[in-house]
Copies of this chain bind each other. A is one copy, B any other.
């Protein structure tokens, strides 16, 4: 029964009240920590959105800024190679 913490059972004498044979406090702690971190992630997503709103107000193109951020994550040599290929493919297609 891998689903049940082996160190806790119905007869557990630890301080963790076991309900139905599981470590209730441990489970609650896990869930609350995940929820807290998810809240923080949502906060960061909001902060990022605010910066893009600021960028737009300042007259920048948000889609282009996102493209810049993607390019900065890649190696310069890789970016250059892909841009060369993109040019070749476009010319081949008459674009």
Contact = CB atoms under 8 A, between A and B. Distances in A.
A27 to B, nearest CB: 6
Nearest to A76: B95
Contact of A4 (B31, B45, B59): B59
Stoichiometry, as copies per complex, reads: 4
A76 to B, nearest CB: 8
B82 A31 contact: no
Contacts of A58: 5, 7, 23, 26, 30
Interface of A: 2-7, 19-24, 26-28, 30-31, 33-35, 37-38, 40-41, 44-45, 47-48, 51-52, 54-55, 58-61, 63-65, 67-69, 71-72, 82, 85-86, 88-93, 95
